[in-house]
Structure formats: C-alpha cells, structure tokens
Amino acid sequence: MTTFPSSHLDLLESQVATLATIDRDGLPQLTEVWFLHDEGEVRLSLNTSRAKTKNLIERPACSLLLLDLTNPYRYLEVRGRADVQPDPDYAFARKVGAKYDDDLSSRDRPGEGRVVVTIQPVKVHAVDMTG
C-alpha cells in the first residue's frame, strides 16, 4: 500500500488523470485516463488494443499526474512502473465502472480485452505552487 501525502488525498478521488507512457520511438505519450484509488494503490482499467497499453506491456515506465482542475498549480505525480495483469472476467473493470457509473465492457469491441494496471511508485511528488 502506497502512502500518499495527506495534503493531496482529495485528488485520488478525482475523475481523470494524465498518464505518461513511453512509445516505441522512446517519446513520452500523454493521454487522459480514468483511474481508481483501489486497495491503497492507483490503478487503471485499460483496453488491450490501445497504444498506451502496448507501451506499458513493452516498457513499464510510466507516470500519472492528478491535477486539481480548479487550481492547476496543485497536483500529485505518481511516477514508477506499471504492473499489468489480465482482467478476463472484467472484475476490476466493474469496480472502475462503479466509480464512473459506466459499463466499461460496452466500450470494448469483439476480440478486445481489459487489463488491470497498478502503478508501483518509485516517486510520489506532491506539488502546491500556490503555497
């Protein structure tokens, strides 16, 4: 279980976060993603067909930035490596769906699946430039 700073715990409940992976050319790739603060960790449910998912399987280095949309000078960065596990019965996808009141399986096409991505932090960086 990862300890996150108490000053930024509210951001773990926010709706979207910015995920950085590293693409096949070695460039950072940024996308907005849904996430869940689950069992003390920051986790994502990703469709297996997405470039970001393939990036994480081939290169686990990643970072997730949780931004305070009402004050973008305040944010939490969770930098580390992704542990990617199958989610064949969509058990974890349903947990994420409960947060968003959404059926994630309805977003997947035939042949696609889901993985559970757990970010294993190397560095947790809490920023508040507004002091």
Site for its own copies in 78-97 (CB under 8 A): 79-81
Amino acid present at 49 = S
In whole angstroms, the minimum distance from the beta carbon of 38 to its own copies comes to 21
Q: Which DSSP helix (H) or strand (E) runs through 56?
A: helix 51-58
Question: Which listed residue (65, 84, 124, 126) binds its own copies by CB under 8 A?
Answer: 65
Taking alpha carbons only, the member of 17, 63, 57, 49 closest to residue 36 is 17
Q: How many residues bind its own copies (CB under 8 A)?
A: 33
When asked if residue 72 is in the footprint of its own copies (CB under 8 A), the reply is yes
Q: Are 81 and 60 in contact (CB under 8 A)?
A: yes
Report the half-sphere exposure of 82 (CA within 13 A, side-chain side). 27
**Cβ–Cβ < 8 Å for 89, 116:** no
Instruction: Lay out the site mask for its own copies across 24-63 (x = CB under 8 A, - = otherwise).
Output: -xxxxxxxx----------------------------xxx
Interface residues with its own copies (CB under 8 A) are 15-16, 18, 20-23, 25-32, 61-65, 67, 69, 72-73, 75, 77, 79-81, 122-123, 127, 129
